[in-house]
Amino acid sequence: MNIIRVKAFPDSKKAYIEQVSDKALRVFVRDSAQNNAANRAIVRAVAEFYTIPENKLRIIAGHQSHNKTIRVLE
């Protein structure tokens, strides 16, 4: 599990995660996309979902897109 594909939904009414497949998630966060808040919330949510420390996750593609690629560092 080195790469996780994420479809981001910032400004959602409720924060939750839907698992689409083994390595694909739909992440709904309440934070807005302003000042990178949604990206930080997405990393935090994915880390909690997989029980991985936040510092082991990096967004490697899609910083300004709804479709993001997150790498799990070892």
Q: What is the pLDDT of residues 4-27, one digit of tens each?
A: 999 999 999 999 999 999 999 999
Q: Model confidence at 74, in pLDDT bands (50, 70, 90)?
A: confident
State the Cα–Cα distance between residues 43 and 54, nearest whole angstrom. Answer: 7
* pTM score over 0.85: yes
Q: Measured on CA atoms in the order 30, 34, 39, 44, is the torsion positive or negative?
A: negative
Mean pLDDT confidence for 41-64: 95
pLDDT (mean) for 28-47: 95
Class of domain 3-72: alpha beta
Average pLDDT, the chain: 94
Residue 1: band (very low, low, confident or very high) from pLDDT cuts 50, 70, 90: low
